[in-house]
């Protein structure tokens, strides 16, 4: 049965939800606060599809590492000290979730989501052609130190136990795999299932497909409130007037928390601000995307350019660019790539985005218990692009009253109700 579906949020996850709902035959409207061309996570990210990212943000030692780094303004992780009840509650929930047992339960869930999403990307590739510059060459995790290499080798063993390929490489083997850039490393771990793409091109492809499917996308439109009774949402009040629908999907990234609160719902998330710097004329041309392990910096070749992205800055809903954080990324790159010096970043395009981070490191996907026609598709943190297609497919199945093709029990949006 065809339904009217209203998606709040036009980032990569929201557009993916709209795409799969339209494929089910539903009449879809997307409400987006920003302009069609804008910055933000969906455009400024590293464009990685990462089955290797099966360990959630909430893992043993994450709080202690954050406390150790928070006083260094150039560190990969920075917390802006503030007495905010929601933030302190989020930190407490993160601390409670960061256990070996949680990692053990979450890792297979994230593995299955990433691998299913990867296959959906390949379907898009077959249908649309390679408009979004899809590359299947894997990912290298580069390590400066032997200690870090040992830690990443343990992560590789964990991946192998989950049935995913991973290989520890010597510096010479890593150089043979990617001869396009000189590396100064103690070794690397190679994850052959990982892929990369160009985020802006992916967003353009999704917008074109939605237009062809008759999806209505309202840009520069703010959500101001909801109309709801005790069990159903009937309409959303926007700056363009009220919009009624049969099903509503909350996919507004970090702004989903406040919008859920307006309905009396708890959807705890913290904005994890990240930055990206894109070199249009890089001094070297790598073939494989990489993670600079100690620095927590991502490197992705995108066409003729190269993008570096990193940092996790917890400073609230603040989209400003902190030059000290940028300096931390720039200074770290040369430790891994000696031919890419700070001078090469003088004219780099700098962008920022707010990643919506749940306390347990798992996204919110599925219906709320309180409202029979309201679903969440948010909280993907650094995995938004990687998990966008499978999130879209799962939500389309939910609003179509079908059994989801993957279990979403661990992703319930009410788990912090």
β-pair partners for 313: 78, 273
Locate 319 and state its tokens.
């989209």
pLDDT computed for residue 71 by the predictor: 67
Q: What angle do CA 352, 191, 276 make, to 5 degrees?
A: 10
Structural domains of the chain, with CATH? 4-42+201-268+361-411 (3.50.50.60), 53-84+91-98+134-196+269-357 (3.30.9.10)
CA 393 to chain centre: 16
Distances in Å between the alpha carbon of 383 and those of 5, 97, 129, 295, 347? Answer: 24, 18, 23, 18, 28
Instruction: Tell me 163's DSSP state.
Output: T
The DSSP secondary-structure symbol of 345 reads: G
What pTM value is reported for the model?
0.95
For 184-228, the DSSP string reads --SEEEEETT-EE--HHHHHHHHHHHHHHTT-EEE-S--EEEEEE
Burial class (CB in 10 A: 0-12, 13-18, 19+), 126: exposed
Q: Which residue has the tokens 């869930």?
A: 109
Q: Is 163 left (phi over 0), alpha (psi -120 to 50) or beta?
A: left
Beta-sheet strands, E only, within 41-197: 48-49, 77-79, 139-143, 167-169, 187-191, 195-196
Can you give the pLDDT of all 417 residues of the chain as single tens digits? 899 999 999 999 999 999 999 999 999 999 999 888 777 778 889 999 999 999 998 888 877 777 676 667 676 777 777 788 898 899 899 999 999 999 999 999 999 999 999 999 999 999 999 999 999 999 999 999 999 999 999 999 999 999 999 999 999 999 999 999 999 999 999 999 999 999 999 999 999 999 999 999 999 999 999 999 999 999 999 999 999 999 999 999 999 999 999 999 999 999 988 899 999 999 999 999 999 999 999 999 998 999 999 877 887 787 878 888 888 899 999 999 999 999 999 989 899 899 999 999 999 999 999 999 999 999 999 999 999 999 999 999 999 999 999 999 999 999 998
Task: Measure the CA–CA gap between 161 and 398, rounded to whole angstroms.
Answer: 31
Instruction: Indicate the pairing of strand 187-191 with strand 374-378.
Output: unpaired
Name the token pair of 211.
């237009």
Contact present, 292 and 229 (Cβ < 8 Å):
no
Phi, psi torsion values for 56, nearest 5 degrees = -70, 165
């Amino acid at each position: 049965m065809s339904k009217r579906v209203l998606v709040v949020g036009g980032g990569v996850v929201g557009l993916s939800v709209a795409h799969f709902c339209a494929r089910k035959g539903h009449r879809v409207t997307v409400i987006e606060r920003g302009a069609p061309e804008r910055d933000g996570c969906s455009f400024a990210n590293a464009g990685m599809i990462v089955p290797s990212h099966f360990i959630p943000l909430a893992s043993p030692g994450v709080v202690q590492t954050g406390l150790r780094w928070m006083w260094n303004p150039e560190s990969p992780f920075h917390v802006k000290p503030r007495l905010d009840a929601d933030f302190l509650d989020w930190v407490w929930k993160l601390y409670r979730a960061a256990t070996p047992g949680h990692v053990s339960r979450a890792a297979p869930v994230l593995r299955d989501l990433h691998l299913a999403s990867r296959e959906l990307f390949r379907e898009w590739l077959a249908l649309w052609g390679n408009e979004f510059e899809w590359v299947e060459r894997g990912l290298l995790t580069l390590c400066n130190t032997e200690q870090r290499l040992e830690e990443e080798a343990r992560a590789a063993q964990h991946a192998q136990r989950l049935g995913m390929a991973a290989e520890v490489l010597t510096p010479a083997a890593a150089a043979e795999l990617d001869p396009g850039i000189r590396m100064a490393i103690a070794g690397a771990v190679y994850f052959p299932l990982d892929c990369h793409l160009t985020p802006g091109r992916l967003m353009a492809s999704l917008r074109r497909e939605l237009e062809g499917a008759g999806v209505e996308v309202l840009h520069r439109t703010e959500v101001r409130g909801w109309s709801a009774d005790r069990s159903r949402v009937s309409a959303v009040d926007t700056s363009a007037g009220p919009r009624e629908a049969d099903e509503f999907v909350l996919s507004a990234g970090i702004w989903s928390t406040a919008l859920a609160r307006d309905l009396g719902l708890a959807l705890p998330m913290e904005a994890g601000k990240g930055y990206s710097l894109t070199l249009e004329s890089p001094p070297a041309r790598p073939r494989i995307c990489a993670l600079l392990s100690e620095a927590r910096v991502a490197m992705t070749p995108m066409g003729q350019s190269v993008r570096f992205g990193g940092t996790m800055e917890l400073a609230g809903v603040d989209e400003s660019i902190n030059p000290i954080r940028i300096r931390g990324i720039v200074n770290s790159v040369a430790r891994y790539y000696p031919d890419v010096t700070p001078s090469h970043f003088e004219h780099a395009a700098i962008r920022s985005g707010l990643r919506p981070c749940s306390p347990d490191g798992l996204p919110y996907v599925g219906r709320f218990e309180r409202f029979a026609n309201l679903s969440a598709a948010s909280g993907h943190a650094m995995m938004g692009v990687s998990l966008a297609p499978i999130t879209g497919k799962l939500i389309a199945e939910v609003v179509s009253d079908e059994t989801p093709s993957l279990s979403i029990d661990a992703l319930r949006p009410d788990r912090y109700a």
